[in-house]
């Protein structure tokens, strides 16, 4: 991964690079770009992988439960699930416990794609955090800021 320096961007951007919000936004943008490139061969982007991750983590969830887990609105999750379903990664099924309820589950293609994409995501994150002296501490500090 090639990162540009402030000098390559034309200076310190009027002090913007000292602002926490600016730094967080641009670090996230670089990570997102790296993940997008790495996940593209698997037919996924970061949002798709987040949805698959929410679905794979535990018992089958309804579409609304997936939306709540990801903190997205229900219309957005509907569009995301439609796309994943069209590509054969997920299915909507009747819940075996409650026939009035539909759940979202990974297909076998979805599971194998998720497994490979998750491996790729971890590699990208490892490479992205490599310049840090203590990447695990960085994650812990971010969790602390989120109140986790």
What pLDDT digit, counting tens, does each position of 88-146 carry?
A: 999 999 888 788 888 999 999 999 999 999 999 999 999 999 999 999 999 999 999 98
Which of 128, 108, 125, 120 minimizes the C-alpha distance to 40? 120
pLDDT of residue 7: 47
Q: What is the mean pLDDT of residues 32-56?
A: 95
CATH code assigned to 6-134? 1.10.10.10
Q: Is the pLDDT of residue 12 over 60?
A: no
Angle ∠(69,74,50) on CA atoms, nearest 5: 40
Q: Say which residues have a Cβ less than 8 Å from residue 16's Cβ, sequence separation at least 6.
A: 22
pTM of the model: 0.79
Q: What is the mean pLDDT of residues 41-46?
A: 94
pLDDT of residue 10: 46
pLDDT of residue 140: 92
Task: Enumerate the domain spans of the chain.
Answer: 6-134
What pLDDT digit, counting tens, does each position of 14-29 carry?
A: 567 778 899 999 999 9
pLDDT of residue 37: 97
């Amino acid at each position: 991964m090639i990162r540009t320096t402030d000098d390559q961007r034309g200076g310190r951007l009027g002090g913007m690079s000292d602002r926490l919000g600016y730094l967080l936004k641009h670090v996230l943008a670089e990570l997102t770009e790296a993940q997008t490139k790495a996940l593209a061969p698997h037919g996924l982007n970061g949002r798709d992988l987040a949805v698959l991750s929410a679905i794979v983590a535990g018992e089958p969830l309804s579409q609304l439960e997936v939306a709540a887990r990801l903190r997205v609105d229900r219309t957005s999750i509907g569009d995301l699930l439609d796309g994943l379903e069209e590509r054969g990664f997920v299915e909507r099924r009747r819940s075996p416990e409650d026939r009035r309820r539909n759940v979202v589950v990974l297909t076998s293609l979805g599971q194998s794609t998720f497994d490979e994409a998750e491996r790729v995501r971890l590699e990208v994150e490892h490479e992205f955090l490599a310049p840090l002296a203590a990447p695990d501490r960085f994650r812990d500090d971010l969790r602390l800021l989120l109140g986790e």
